[in-house]
Structure 1
């Protein structure tokens, strides 16, 4: 009854681009020249990661100011390591990194992950 007062009850299907190969980071850098790219690093074994992802998905709006990418840290740990190395952002889980012109411009982790904040930051770019 009160859940609709605090958060959206229906989640929007996010058009996630699955990040499964470190070579895709080159493509992300190119895309980020036109529109910011968001990388969401998620651990399928972590309850905090699951909670952050659920919160993010419930808040997502189809008119996002960024292109969303998703990496499963358990299945693609090497990709996660390359992200940390390439963008100079220490690995955390869960974590979001906003990329513009091939450079990290904003990042957040754990319960600090907020769709509204990320979208607001992307709109500034």
Structure 2
């Protein structure tokens, strides 16, 4: 399983996005039980498929979380996951729709 990096700054976000290729970005609330379940699904997917992935803790790193919403013009939700490909959002979803199977299905498209 590849290491999941935690993004603490907009600069780190920029580097993650600009690296290109397919990558997953997960916005996580450490106080939300729905987010905890979604994070487990995200990690379960990553245990089976090696790919670059990053997490933003929405309460702790609010400016980074806000930058994602502003940059991609996608309303902030938490938990929320994005499949990025070459810097563009190819798929995103939130809450209970974040499952290992949903991520795997999005990867096929």
TM-score by length of 1: 0.76
Partner residue of 1:29?
Answer: 17
Aligned pairs for 1:48-63 (under 5 A) are 48-63=34-49
Shift in Å at residue 62 of structure 1? 4.2
Partner residue of 1:120?
Answer: 105
Aligned pairs for 1:1-125 (under 5 A) are 15-32=3-20, 35-64=21-50, 66-124=51-109
CA RMSD of aligned residues (A): 1.8
More strand by share: 2
The 1-side partners of 2:35 and 2:74 are apart by: 18
| Structure 1: stretches of 5+ with no match in the other structure | 1-12
Aligned length: 109
- Larger Rg computed on CA atoms: 1
More helix by share: 2
TM-score by length of 2: 0.86
Distance 1:118 1:55, change over 3 A: closer
For the residue of structure 2 that corresponds to 1:108, the secondary structure is strand
The 2-side partners of 1:24 and 1:57 are apart by: 21
